[in-house]
Structure 1
Amino acid sequence: MNFENNLTFAKAQDEADILKDFRNQFLFPNQNGKEFIYLCGNSLGLQPKVSSEVLKRQLDNWANHAVEGWFEGKEPWMFYHKELKKLMAPIVGASPREVCPMNTLTVNLHLLMVSFYQPKGKRFKIIMEGGAFPSDQYAIESQVRFHGFDPKEAIIEVFPIEGEETLRTEDIVAKIEENGDEIALVLFGGINYYTGQWYGMEAITKAGHKIGAMVGWDLAHAAGNVPVKLHDWDVDFACWCSYKYQNSGPGGISGIFVHEKHFSNTKLNRFAGWWGYQENQRFKMEKGFIPEAGADGWQISCTQVMPMALYHASLQIFEQAGFIEPLRNKSISLTNYLEFIINEVNKELGFEQYKIITPKNPKDRGAQLSIIAKDKGKEVFDGLFENYILGDWREPDVIRLSAVPLYNSFEDIYLTGEALLKVSQKILNA
């Protein structure tokens, strides 16, 4: 597509957008009666308008049924998670029995590592991307310490080659092969939170399995953003938060994936709880843990009804939109246009004030562009906020902007570029 840096072009693209009406299903932040252009869905998604209605329905169930709400009403809580499983599965390329909504992201990461990080002899190391989100770093450090290893010896981090901002899939694969007989677990984030790079998940998973390791993914920035095929790619396990691209609210419930090939593996460790016990025998209260079939067997605590209700509200919007493929097509167009607009701002300024460090190829990125501001970046970011553009700042010099296809528009992108140019000219010439 030949892009144009004008409002007429942006509005024409929005008019032709088959997903344009979904924007009306979300609430945008505002100050002084003016709405923000919201480009921060990579950190916290917007609230679906239906959220309050869905949540109220469960509050009414609680009010009207009290404890009987577990078995009475239109959506008995005992089985409520199964409604979500049907809608979660297409988002991550899985079958419903391979996914389950439960807990929060880092809790699930720990629980899954209990099962899938089983160091033995020489094979005790975990390989991950350098610069992963701190939660992943801390979780992995504590897991290897729990098994009696020094993180400096047990964790292999892969960093970009000197002079580059992102990793090459071939370098990750080469590092896996180089340390093959020592690696017990390959554990990466699907999309790096800082650079916005989408890793070559299929190739990395294949490489991990080739050397005999388990392979898991933290999909915090990937689930609901890019099309993943966890089952077909033979991924062993994955987990994700739902409050970013899946709009389930701050601290929203997490989801897990466990490949069905592991369901009958009795050698897997797991931390058990009552809610993961065999469903049709659960209320017999007997000793001796027998897991429910599928990912549900990794549950520990009972259904978190209210967080699930908020997640359910958003998942139904994904279903209406046709799940990931239509959203992905729009996402690519929006992000390409954002890239074009940022380059246009640099042209107007006469130099490269803004360097995009997210990969240029759409197959290597999702909805986020990470931009290094070479001068006075924080002042520029604050200036954008003052002009009702809400993105995300990461030290020391990166502005993250995420154009979410469910609720962002081409006009949003154009107006962001217009504001960025105005703010830049004011601050840089001061």
Structure 2
Amino acid sequence: MTRSRARRLLERGTWPEVSRIGDVLRTESIGGLLLLVATVVALLWSNSPWSASYAALSGVRVGPAAWHLDLTLAGWAADGLLAVFFFVAGLELKREFVAGDLRDPRRAVLPVAAAVGGMVVPAVIYTLVNATAAGGSLAGWAVPTATDIAFALAVLGVISTHLPAALRTFLLTLAVVDDLLAIVIIAVFYTAALAWLPLLLAAVPLAGFGLLVRRGVTSAWLLLPLAVATWALVHAAGIHATVAGVLLAFTVPVRPAAGAPGAGLAHRLEHRWRPLSAGVAVPVFAFFAAGVSIAGVGGGTGIANAVTLGIAVGLVAGKTVGVVGATWLVQRFTRARLAEGVSWWDVLGIGLLGGVGFTVSLLIAELAFGTGTTQDGYAKIGVLLGSTTAAVLAAVVLRLRNRYYRLLCAEEEVDADADGVPDVYERTDR
């Protein structure tokens, strides 16, 4: 293979895909800022003289007890609202692999490998830290494996970096694959007891939902009852109810029907539900999940606990090594090279941003240790510490590259022929 034809990693995608992802990132960035606000409010309230009122609010029970749905407000946020988040993530994942740039295996291999590496290495680090340490617990091995796309993009918004389109796409697709792997981990490793009858019954409304969306039905009056029934039955089966969100998303067709104008139903539903996911579901969950009393966990010594250290080091070092290492391995064994203008400092910055694991990490911590337990508190401190450290380090690295990013974005925005597509995406020499 000649050098001119060598495959390039992190090269620009197609203009429609880059444009679509730009719209996604803008929505998620706003949601990430709301997530930051919700987290700060929860931390201040739970560590204030009025912390008892925060605990009381989180523990308020709502729902029919006869259907095993008398959940606390915190439980509704984790089981109910996060199902919306995973529904949107499922739509995004399916669209990426069916109609997006990742339908090409050559483009898909890098974010998939990076997501796997970014989950395996943190889990190994956590296990090594907790295997022999006093007070350690192996139950939380999966906590540092998650990446929070909303929080990561909020970091980008705060530092005002002009991240190249290919790297923004890489970050988003990596996080989407990460979400899928996380939901598999939740379903397989954090399902204590499985009730087969509700699980089998869940297939009925799920099939009905799939049949309607396949026929192009978009009426909320028809789809929502079936979605809620699927969610409730999956919850009753003992599987975390967020799995229902992914299952429902996978039934939605990505491509429009033959001869039908416009985008496919998956795109339209994603466009409709993403603001609710990013602007409401995730911030509300963060508000109830992030409120840990620092002084009340281990007498204020939680930072030295093995669970805390394992999660924090896993998020910061594990994610970075996993993402950068997987990218290097893909380059090494496929003979591909980084795209022109992209450096390993960029990959390092993305790897560090991958260590901003917040929403799903907090969810897994609650499933692993039990909501409100001492070890759950240690885990939350680890998630907050690791995510904050990763965010700061990523901001430093990406700030150093900011001037170059600005020049690259200026090049991408040139549209000399005024056809609505930047000229850089119309070159035939790429």
TM > 0.5: no
Q: Which structure has more strand as a fraction of its residues?
A: 1
Higher RCO, 1 or 2 (CA under 8 Å, sep at least 6)?
Answer: 2
Task: Please report the TM-score for the alignment, with normalisation by the length of structure 2.
Answer: 0.30
